[in-house]
Amino acid sequence: MLLNPDDRRSKAEKIKAAGLTEQVFYRWMKDERFVNYLNKQIDKYTNSEINEVWKALVRKCKIGDTSAIKLFFELKGLYKDQKQIEHTGKDGKPIETETRIIIDYGDGADG
C-alpha cells in the first residue's frame, strides 16, 4: 500500500488505511530494520518492472526521441558524453611548467 506507485492517496491517507498513526509511522522510518525492509520491497517491485521500462524506452527510441536514444546508448555503454576542459594559467595565459630531473644514485646520497 505505502509502496504502490499506482496508489494516488496521500501518505497520511495510506498511513491511516494501514491502521497506523503518523507518529508510529515516522518512528518506524527512523528504524534501520524497517527502512531496509521497505527498500527490499521497493527493489522487488522495481526489478519486476525492468522489462516494461526497457520496452517503453525502446518505443521512445523508435519514434525518434533523441533524448531517449541518447539514454539508451548511455545505458548500453555505447555513448560517453565527452567534454573538453581547457586549463589556463594566470590571466588566461598558458600554464607555467617547470621540469626537474632527479637522479637517484641508489646510495642515499643527494647528488
Whole-number pLDDT of residue 9: 92
Q: Is-contact 14 7, C-beta < 8 A? A: yes
pLDDT score of 26 more than 80: yes
10 Å CB burial of residue 22 (0-12, 13-18, 19+) is exposed
Alpha-carbon distance of 66 to 55, in angstroms, equals 16
pLDDT tens per residue, range 51-69: 999 999 999 999 999 999 9
Average pLDDT, stretch 83-94? Answer: 78
Q: Is-contact 88 94, C-beta < 8 A? A: yes
DSSP H helical segments within 4-89, as ranges?
11-17, 22-28, 32-62, 66-75
Tell me if the pTM is above 0.75. no
Residue 43: strand, helix, or coil: helix
Percent of the chain with pLDDT over 90: 55
